Amino acid sequence: MAQKLAPYDRYKETIEPFCKQGIILVSGTQGNPMTIGWGSIGVYWGKPVFTVVVRPSRYSYELLIELPEFSVNVMGDDYKKQVAYCGSCSGRDENKAQVCGFELASCDDIKVPYIRQALFHYECRILNHADFMEEAMNKEIATRFYPQKDYHRAFYGEILGLYEAREKHD
């Protein structure tokens, strides 16, 4: 059985790869993996919340609107190649999970799957979203990151569960 941990128990282990190679957001019932490098784990409305930011051009953006749930999967160093691939190719063109050899498994708390090879994963239900606004944005950030004005949308997902890899605990 997977071991269910408290929502903030893997904070440091999540932030470190988040800042380096990235971690994997999975959305949609079919399980589309997309690499993310921005986001946060925090508190909103008195709940533990994983916030991810996604540009409107991503296939994942459509999937998150269609089904307001996601899993966030932290992969070990053996999966750096696959993480890079999921950040350079769209689920509109490829079945990325299949190409990467990711085994998708049912989550306990949401309809979106998680990646069985992940070290641990979060299961989240979206409570809210908010679009970054040009008029409120620091000018340097706007010029550097948004020359095409394709501002990210922040999706706020309540952390319903954080689970450690099944393999370790079966």
Ligand X SMILES: Cc1cc2nc3c(=O)[nH]c(=O)nc-3n(C[C@H](O)[C@H](O)[C@H](O)COP(=O)(O)O)c2cc1C
Q: Does 97 bind ligand X (CB under 6 A)?
A: no
CA 105 to chain CA centroid, nearest Å: 16
Query: Cα torsion for 37, 72, 67, 65, to the nearest 10°?
Result: -10
Compute the least distance from the CB of residue 100 to ligand X, in Å.
Answer: 12
Q: Does 15 bind ligand X (CB under 6 A)?
A: no
Q: Does 132 bind ligand X (CB under 6 A)?
A: no
Nearer to ligand X, 64 or 119 (CB): 64
Q: Which stretch binds ligand X (CB under 6 A): 7-15, 58-66, 110-118, 122-130?
A: 58-66
Q: Does 90 bind ligand X (CB under 6 A)?
A: yes
Compute the least distance from the CB of residue 144 to ligand X, in Å.
Answer: 15
Residues 39-48: contacts with CB within 8 Å, 24+ apart?
39/72, 41/7, 41/8, 41/11, 41/14, 41/15, 41/159, 44/127, 44/128, 44/156, 45/127, 47/127, 47/158, 47/159, 48/7, 48/8, 48/158, 48/159
Binding residue (CB under 6 A) for ligand X from 4, 5, 29, 38: 38
Compute the least distance from the CB of residue 10 to ligand X, in Å.
Answer: 19
Q: Which residues would be at the binding site for ligand X (CB under 6 A)? A: 22, 32, 34-38, 53-55, 58-60, 84, 87-92
